[in-house]
């Protein structure tokens, strides 16, 4: 499945002028409040008609303003998941799910229903009414309903925003399974760096209605200089590793990276042998020229300096290469000078364990 999209739309004083291309996997539309994420999603969904635009999904033109093509929303075959699950309160979970398949062009085979129920872990809930479910359970049902409408693409608008941290942690592993097992593009709107880092294959970062940066989470979060202070705190490296061992007593997992291993607090559902992504915020990395001792930080990784980039007047960003991985650190230019940091110099990246996310 492929998706090619571009649009231009004037909304009052706001102009949306953006586009992106993707295939299967999660494309995150990321940006601050008011950057245009929802407006973009609405154009894709067919909920609003842009002044100019083109949307092609797997070769089929669903929108082309020049050619006067506008396929209405109910014929686009997209599944939607909103912030608030929007389940029908008077229907059981099973009937809510079946409602999705009712609108599918073909009848949903029984096996598909079972597969979706299994994927989202909602079998025990089938006879419940929505009001008896937790927020996370409701969202899982809402995702199931969207999947059972046999969509060719899923559009998710901040599906976790209304949930508390515990519910978010509960549902994230299901979203990861969805990403890994469902062969369709997923467009995922979020303003959470942690969520995007964990789920997205590609990030389209919007700013004032335009694409400000696009690429892998590492490309986009690995050191853009135009983050707000909140985003700046979360900027850093995103590394992929394998969960090697899990210490259930302390709820810590050891993740094998390309050369070294690091220990991270265990996220809700890390399984040994599975691939996980680890986000190391650059603010939580210190640089040492000798291996420090007697520190509370558990992760001290040996590497070499791959780059030193100025970042603002008094700061520098250091890229530390550790085998095939790169960890970022943002330190003052004065510290870099004092430590005589230079390209290819061997250093130790001191990572505060609490800063890692599974």
Ligand X SMILES: Nc1ncnc2c1ncn2[C@@H]1O[C@H](COP(=O)(O)OP(=O)(O)OP(=O)(O)O)[C@@H](O)[C@H]1O
Alpha-carbon distance values, 244 to 49, 134, 280, 311, 322 (Å): 49, 32, 18, 35, 18
Residue partners of 333: CB distance under 8 A and separation at least 6:
310, 314, 315, 316
In angstroms, give the least distance from the CB of 12 to ligand X: 3
Residue 16 Cβ, how far from ligand X at the closest point, in Å?
7
Shortest Å distance, C-beta 287 to ligand X: 35
Q: How far is the CB of 193 from ligand X (least distance, A)?
A: 14
The residue count of the chain comes to 358
- Residue ranges in contact with ligand X by CB under 6 A: 11-12, 14, 31, 33-39, 191
Phi-psi region of 77 (alpha: psi -120 to 50; beta: other; left: phi over 0): left
Which helix H or strand E contains 328, and what residues bound it? strand 325-332
> If you search the block for the tokens 């399984």, which residue do you land on?
271
Nearer to ligand X, 9 or 149 (CB): 9
Relative orientation angle of helices 93-102 and 135-147, to the nearest 10 degrees: 30
Q: Report the C-alpha gap between 113 and 101 in whole angstroms.
A: 9
CB of 31 to ligand X, least distance (A): 5
């Amino acid at each position: 499945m492929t998706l090619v999209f571009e649009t231009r739309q004037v909304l009052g004083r706001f102009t949306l002028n953006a586009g992106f291309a993707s295939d299967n996997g999660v494309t995150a539309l990321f940006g601050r409040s008011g950057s245009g994420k929802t407006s973009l999603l609405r154009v894709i969904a067919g909920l609003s008609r842009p002044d100019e635009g083109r949307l092609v999904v797997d070769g089929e033109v669903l929108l082309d303003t020049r050619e006067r093509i506008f396929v209405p929303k109910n014929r686009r075959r997209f599944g939607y998941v909103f912030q608030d699950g929007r389940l029908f309160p008077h229907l059981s979970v099973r009937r809510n799910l079946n409602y999705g398949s009712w609108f599918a062009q073909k009848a949903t085979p029984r096996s598909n229903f079972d597969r979706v129920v299994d994927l989202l872990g909602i079998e025990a809930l089938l006879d419940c009414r929505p009001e008896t479910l937790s927020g996370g359970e409701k969202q899982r049902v809402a995702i199931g309903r969207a999947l059972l409408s046999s969509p060719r693409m899923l559009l998710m608008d901040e599906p976790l925003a209304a949930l508390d941290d515990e519910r978010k942690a509960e549902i994230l592993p299901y979203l990861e399974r969805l990403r890994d097992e469902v062969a369709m593009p997923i467009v995922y709107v979020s303003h959470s760096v942690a969520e995007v880092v964990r789920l997205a294959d590609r990030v389209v970062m919007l700013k004032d209605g335009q694409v400000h940066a696009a690429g892998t989470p590492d490309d986009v979060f690995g050191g853009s200089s135009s983050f707000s202070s909140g985003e700046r705190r979360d900027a850093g490296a995103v590394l992929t590793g394998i969960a090697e061992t899990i210490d259930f007593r302390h709820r810590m997992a050891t993740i094998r990276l390309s050369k070294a291993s690091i220990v991270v607090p265990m996220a809700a559902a890390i399984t040994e042998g599975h691939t996980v992504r680890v986000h190391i915020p650059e603010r939580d990395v210190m640089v040492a020229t000798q291996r420090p001792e007697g520190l509370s930080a558990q992760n001290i990784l040996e590497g070499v300096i791959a780059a030193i980039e100025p970042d603002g007047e008094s700061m520098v960003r250091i890229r530390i290469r550790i085998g095939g991985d790169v960890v970022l650190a943002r330190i003052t230019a004065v510290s870099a000078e004092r430590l005589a940091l230079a390209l290819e110099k061997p250093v130790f990246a001191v990572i505060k364990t609490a800063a890692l996310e599974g």
